[in-house]
Amino acid sequence: MTARITDVARAAGVSASTVSRALRGRPGVSEEVRAQIAAVADQLGYTASQSASSLASGRTYTIGVVAPYIGRWFFGTVLDAAEQVFSAAGYDVLLYNLGSPEARKRFFTRLPVRKRVDAVLSLLIPDPDESAALRSLGVPLASTVGGAREGFTVVGIDDRAGAESAVRHLVNLGHRRIGMISGASGPLHWTTPVDRREAYLSVLADAGIAHDPALEADGGYTVEGGEQAMTRLLAASRPPTAVFAQSDEMAMGAMRALRRHRLRVPEDVSVVGFDDHELAEVVGLTTVAQPVAGQGTEAARLLLRQLDEPAEPDAQPPADKVRMPIRLVLRETTAPPSPRGPQ
């Protein structure tokens, strides 16, 4: 049916080994023969069987990418960027979408990537057990989205600094009642929500503003959740005049809730997000910008570099920690508090 290496060998009048060497650019084949083999292979539409090749060589030329919620802008963008780097380097990408707890559990117990991939890029932060499972694969590991983890190369941002700049901006505008819509640390054991919250508390403290627990609500990192969280904040006895949302999607949800309550942004309530979502500019959202695609690209590159290195067993796993730059982008959803307040 489809051509095998022996077909090419016979047609080119050489042995299978020579075909193998020629097609993979290994030394030890005359240019003349190489060209001849390439022509024959091309004409026969020959591609080496991945299974056979990897069985014999031990290499798969495949990267496993583990992500939660690919449909979410952030992860989709990171995945997109990482995939481009991998495929340009000749690697295929095996995708595992671990949005649901069942999918996640299934993945980590069965570990379908075992013997299937040369490396794993995780877009979520595996918890300690999961990390250990991944380490047991014995391949290079990388991860984006904060939180150092043993054995992982991690590419992320300074969540504290980002959140601080956002909250400080609100303080500088004169706000005193500043709410926060956070993301549950929940099943994802990542430090991001924690770090951003600490930054929030710290800036408030520096400004001499007492912390009011009624001004914090969980938005679960979704638009819908952000809307509900904002609604809860508005139900407080003294609602906030400004809100820091830990993601742009929650910020947009909050804006929607505000509109429903006939409150204007920023006249009645200021809103700051985090991420610089593709559509943040469309809605004029002030936000903390981070290089999202950049993190995918960088993590992918670091992983490939480890694959290229001759794997000296004495060298420690290069637990690099790369910090990508962030910056506060001022748009139209923040302003000084209204003298009358949001009521």
Partner DNA sequence: CTGTTAGCGCGTTCAC
Partner DNA sequence: GTGAACGCGCTAACAG
Name which of DNA, its own copies, none residue 18 binds, using a CB cut-off of 5 to 8 Å depending on partner kind.
Answer: DNA
Q: Is 205 in the site for DNA (CB under 7 A)?
A: no
Question: Which residues are within 8 A (CB) of 94 and not within 5 positions of it... i.e. 6 or more apart?
Answer: 62, 63, 64, 65, 113, 116, 117
8 A C-beta contact, residue 131 and residue 101:
no
8 A C-beta contact, residue 81 and residue 293:
yes
Name which of DNA, its own copies, none residue 69 binds, using a CB cut-off of 5 to 8 Å depending on partner kind.
Answer: its own copies
What is the four-CA torsion angle of 276, 278, 283, 289, rounded to 10 degrees? 10
By beta-carbon proximity to its own copies, the closer residue of 118 and 195 is 118
The dihedrals phi and psi of 185, each to the nearest 5 degrees, come to -70, -30
Q: Is 116 in the site for DNA (CB under 7 A)?
A: no
Distances in whole angstroms, Cα of residue 149 to Cα of each of 28, 53, 143, 191, 317: 43, 33, 9, 11, 12
Please compute Rg for the chain using Cα positions.
26
Q: Which residue has the tokens 């379908």?
A: 112
8 A C-beta contact, residue 328 and residue 280:
no
8 A C-beta contact, residue 215 and residue 180:
yes
Q: Which parts of 66-85 interact with its own copies (CB under 8 A)?
A: 69-73, 76-77, 79-81, 83-84
Query: Which of residues 129, 206, 267, 281 is near its own copies by CB under 8 A?
Result: 281
By beta-carbon proximity to DNA, the closer residue of 44 and 161 is 44
Q: 322: which strand partners?
A: 155
Gap between the Cα atoms of 271 and 273, Å rounded:
7
| Window contacting its own copies (CB under 8 A); options: 29-37, 93-101, 173-181, 233-241 | 93-101
By beta-carbon proximity to its own copies, the closer residue of 115 and 327 is 115
Closest approach, Cβ 34 to its own copies, in A, equals: 17
Name which of its own copies, DNA, none residue 159 binds, using a CB cut-off of 5 to 8 Å depending on partner kind.
Answer: none
Gap between the Cα atoms of 32 and 37, Å rounded:
9
Binding pattern for the stretch 12-51 against its own copies, x by CB under 8 A and - elsewhere: ---------------------------------x-x-xxx
Name which of DNA, its own copies, none residue 186 binds, using a CB cut-off of 5 to 8 Å depending on partner kind.
Answer: none
Query: Which of residues 35, 55, 88, 103 is near DNA by CB under 7 A?
Result: 55
SS3 216: strand
The dihedrals phi and psi of 204, each to the nearest 5 degrees, come to -60, -45
Gap between the Cα atoms of 317 and 311, Å rounded:
9
| Window contacting its own copies (CB under 8 A); options: 107-115, 144-152, 193-201, 335-343 | 107-115
Helices 101-110 and 128-135 sit at what angle, rounded to 10 degrees? 40
Binding pattern for the stretch 23-52 against DNA, x by CB under 7 A and - elsewhere: xx-xxxxx-xxx-----------x-xx--x
By beta-carbon proximity to DNA, the closer residue of 15 and 43 is 15
Name which of its own copies, DNA, none residue 80 binds, using a CB cut-off of 5 to 8 Å depending on partner kind.
Answer: its own copies
Name which of its own copies, DNA, none residue 114 binds, using a CB cut-off of 5 to 8 Å depending on partner kind.
Answer: its own copies
8 A C-beta contact, residue 182 and residue 196:
yes
Q: Which parts of 7-26 interact with DNA (CB under 7 A)?
A: 13-21, 23-24, 26
8 A C-beta contact, residue 321 and residue 301:
no
Residues that bind its own copies (CB under 8 A): 1-2, 45, 47, 49-52, 54-55, 60, 62, 65, 69-73, 76-77, 79-81, 83-84, 87-88, 92-97, 99-100, 103, 106-107, 110-112, 114-116, 136, 138, 223, 252-253, 255-256, 259, 278-279, 281-284, 293
Residues that bind DNA (CB under 7 A): 4-6, 13-21, 23-24, 26-30, 32-34, 46, 48-49, 52-53, 55-57
